[in-house]
Copies of this chain bind each other. A is one copy, B any other.
Amino acid sequence: MMTSTNADVTSDVVLRVLSDPLRRRIVALLAREQLCNCHLTEATGAGQTTVSNALRVLREAGMVETEPCGRFTYYRLLPEPLAGLADELSALARSARESPDHKRPC
């Protein structure tokens, strides 16, 4: 089956990305300020390669932007993908709240 809208595909990707605890921690840290690999490695306690892999996934999903700064590479969190997913989830919650106690008969 094909999905009909692009928004669904994007939110699917965002959900899969956020399902990993380390990536979620990184997203939370980047929500406050721009950081580079060394900060995230120290803050999370994970190995440098592990952090770099997580950042690669975030980058390919379009959730972060990179800004090379000398030897360092700063990462910035993009708000749009998160906001889009939040809206979709809100719509689902609203639909569930507004839906009557209708049961489709078997």
Q: Which residues of A contact B (CB under 8 A)?
A: 12, 15-16, 18-19, 21, 24, 27-28, 30-36, 38-39, 69, 72, 74, 76-80, 82-83, 85-87, 89-90, 92-97, 99, 101-104, 106
Contacts and interface: CB of A to CB of B under 8 A. Distances in A.
Given A15-B18, A18-B15, A24-B12, A74 B103 contact: yes
Contact of A89 (B78, B85, B104): B85
B83 A89 contact: yes
Number of copies: 2
A99 B36 contact: no
A79 B106 contact: no
A23 to B, nearest CB: 10
